[in-house]
Amino acid sequence: MDYNSLLQPMRDYFRSGKTFPVEFRKEQLRKLRDWILANTARIDKALYDDLHKSSAESWATETGLVLMEINTALKHLQSWMKPEKVSTNAVNLPSSSIIHKDPLGTVLIIAPWNYPFQLLILPLAGAIAAGNCVVLKPSEVAPATTVLISSMINELFSKEYIRVIEGDGAEVIPPMMNSFRFDHVFYTGSIPVGKIIYQLAAKDLVPVTLELGGKSPAIVEADAKLDVAARRITLGKFLNAGQTCIAPDYVLVHESKRDAFITQMKKAIESFYTTDPLTSGDYGRIINTRRFDSLANYLEQGSVVFGGITSRDELYFSPTLITDVAANAPVMHEEIFGPVLPIISFKKREEAIDIINANPNPLAFYLFTEDAELKRQWISSTQFGGGCINNAAWHFANHNLPFGGVGNSGIGSYHGRNSFDVFSRRKPVMETPTWLDPAVKYPPYKNKMKMLKMFIGG
User: CA 383, CA 362: separation in Å to the nearest integer?
Assistant: 7
Kindly tell me the sign of the dihedral angle through the C-alpha atoms of 226, 229, 232, 237.
negative
The C-alpha angle with vertex 339 and arms to 299 and 277, in degrees rounded to 5, equals: 105
Catalytic positions: 211, 245
| Helix-, strand-, coil-residue percentages of the chain, each rounded to 5 | 50, 20, 35
Secondary structure element (H or E) that encloses residue 444, with its range? none
Task: Please name the residue ranges forming H helices in 299-371.
Answer: 349-357
User: CA 329, CA 347: separation in Å to the nearest integer?
Assistant: 21
Strand partners, 340: 320
What does DSSP say about strands 133-137 and 106-110: parallel, antiparallel, or unpaired? parallel
pTM confidence score: 0.96
Predicted pLDDT at 452? 82
Among 396, 409, 405, smallest CA distance to 62 is for: 396
Predicted pLDDT at 458? 59
Predicted pLDDT at 161? 98
User: CA 407, CA 414: separation in Å to the nearest integer?
Assistant: 16
pLDDT tens digits for range 397-425: 999 999 999 999 999 999 999 999 999 99
User: CA 28, CA 15: separation in Å to the nearest integer?
Assistant: 18
The Cβ-side half-sphere exposure at 28, using a 13 Å CA radius, reads 25
* Complete edge-to-edge strand list for the sheet that includes strand 303-306: 303-306, 320-323, 340-346, 250-254, 217-220, 364-368, 386-389
The domains of the chain, with CATH numbers, are: 3-212+408-427 (3.40.605.10), 217-404 (3.40.309.10)
Ranges in the chain, pLDDT < 50: none
323 neighbors 309 (Cβ within 8 angstroms): no
pLDDT tens digits for range 50-85: 999 999 999 999 999 999 999 999 999 999 999 999
323 neighbors 202 (Cβ within 8 angstroms): no
pLDDT tens digits for range 87-133: 999 889 999 999 999 999 999 999 999 999 999 999 999 999 999 99
377 neighbors 349 (Cβ within 8 angstroms): yes
User: Strands, DSSP E only, in 147-260?
Assistant: 162-164, 184-188, 208-211, 217-220, 250-254
Q: What is the DSSP string of 95-107?
A: -EEEEEEEE-SEE
What does DSSP say about strands 364-368 and 316-317: parallel, antiparallel, or unpaired? unpaired
| Single-letter code of the amino acid located at 424 | S
